[in-house]
Copies of this chain bind each other. A is one copy, B any other.
Amino acid sequence: MADHLIRSLTKFAPFRPAELELIERLQEKAESFGARTDVILEGDQPTKMFIVEEGLMMRYRILSDGRRQILTFLIPGDMCDVNIFFAHAMDHSISAVGPSRIRRVARDDILRLCLGNPRFAGAFWWSSLQREAMLRERVVALGRRNARARLAYLFCEFYWRYEAIDQVLDHTLVLPLTQAELGDTLGMTAIHVNRVLSDMRDDGLLQRSRARIELTDFEGLKALAEIDREYLHYSAPPPEVAAYFRESAA
């Protein structure tokens, strides 16, 4: 099994063997979490970050009346952001959606790594761009799109994200989300999610089971969602920028 953190970072810049070994060593032993268990709670001041090795996790906030807003999802290879170390307290919680495995990295190790070798800082910067861009898309979707387009948008996002880690086969991906979770992500009730999904199925856009979704008409979904893959900023940074991080400063 490839090291996910390394795979993630090397998409930004090629690291040298010594650097890779360094990262590998920083990561703690893998930890498993059952579905619906929390990894970090709102209010915590984290002293470790982590990277998802397996499974599906989510960031969420619980409101005073008990309702939940899911902010974003973390899939294998994603890291809980380095930024949280600059916060006094988490403004949201992170939990496993399905059974998941993570590996933690201590705050001090990460900070030392970035300070000692700016190429790591650059890699984290890039991941920060991607996270922020996903949140912007969410805002656009919630602010200006109807239920059907919101669902289409979310599925497109998942499609591209899973595609980037080679977990799409035949427009089908493993996505163990309940309709309630989809609703809490997109600002809708589970009931309405159900109705709209069933319309979309009838229109031949998708096929869904509890843990699996097939995007039978991906082009149709994309058109509905009015979203472009480039919005996710998956392509590596422009060469002139990457150049700054190429010659190691370590």
A1 at interface, CB cutoff 8 A: no
The digit string for A100-122, where 1 denotes a CB below 8 A from any CB of B, is 00000001100110110010011
Please give, as numbers and ranges, the residues of chain B lying within 8 Å of A135 by CB-CB distance: 132, 135-136, 138-139
What is the distance, in angstroms, from A136's C-beta to the closest C-beta of chain B?
A: 5
Give the chain B neighbours of A114 by CB distance below 8 A: 118, 121
Q: Which of A48-56, A83-91, A173-181 binds B?
A: A83-91
Check if A111 sits within 8 Å of B69, measured CB to CB.
no
A-side interface size class = 35 or more
Interface of A is mostly: helix
Q: Contact: B125 with A83, CB < 8 Å? A: yes
Q: Kindly identify which residue among B133, B144, B235 contacts A91, using a CB–CB cutoff of 8 Å.
A: B133
Residues of B within 8 A of A139 (CB): 69, 71, 135, 138-139, 142
Kindly list chain B residues whose C-beta atoms are within 8 Å of the C-beta of A132. Answer: 81, 83, 128, 131-132, 135
* Residue from B89, B129, B187, B249 in contact with A87 in the complex, judged by beta carbons closer than 8 Å: B129
The 3 closest A-B pairs by CB, nearest first: A143-B187, A142-B142, A83-B129
